[in-house]
């Protein structure tokens, strides 16, 4: 699943592929925004942990990954 995180005062968004479900990511974001935790903590598909301070979240976009194209066909 692809997750895009916008961070306040940062010029670029954080994009990661996560093995977590959309419901789990949404729950973690909700907890961070509600003040239950000070950090949004997500794990990407390589096992790396991404930590974002909850007070710096601008937006979180949760979506399905785009299918990867293979081959040398015309675009």
Q: What is the pLDDT of residues 21-57, one digit of tens each?
A: 999 999 999 999 999 999 999 999 999 999 999 999 9
Cα angle 25-44-4, degrees, rounded to a multiple of 5: 60
- What does the block give as tokens for 4? 């895009």
Select the CATH number that applies to the domain covering 2-63 from these four: 1.25.40, 1.10.3470, 3.30.300, 2.30.30: 2.30.30
Question: How many Å apart are CA 73 and CA 75, to the nearest integer?
Answer: 6
- Looking at residue 72, its pLDDT comes to 72
Q: What does the domain layout of the chain look like in residue ranges?
A: 2-63
Q: What is the mean pLDDT of residues 60-73?
A: 75
What average pLDDT is seen over the chain? 89
Dihedral of CA atoms 39, 22, 65, 44 in degrees, nearest 10, equals: 40
Dihedral of CA atoms 5, 28, 54, 40 in degrees, nearest 10, equals: -70
């Amino acid at each position: 699943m692809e997750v895009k995180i916008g961070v306040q005062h940062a010029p670029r968004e954080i994009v990661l592929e996560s093995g977590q479900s959309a419901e789990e990511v949404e729950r973690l974001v909700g907890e961070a925004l509600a003040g239950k935790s000070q950090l949004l903590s997500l794990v990407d598909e390589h096992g790396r942990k991404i930590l974002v301070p909850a007070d710096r979240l601008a937006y979180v976009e949760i979506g399905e990954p785009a299918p990867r194209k293979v081959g040398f066909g015309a675009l």
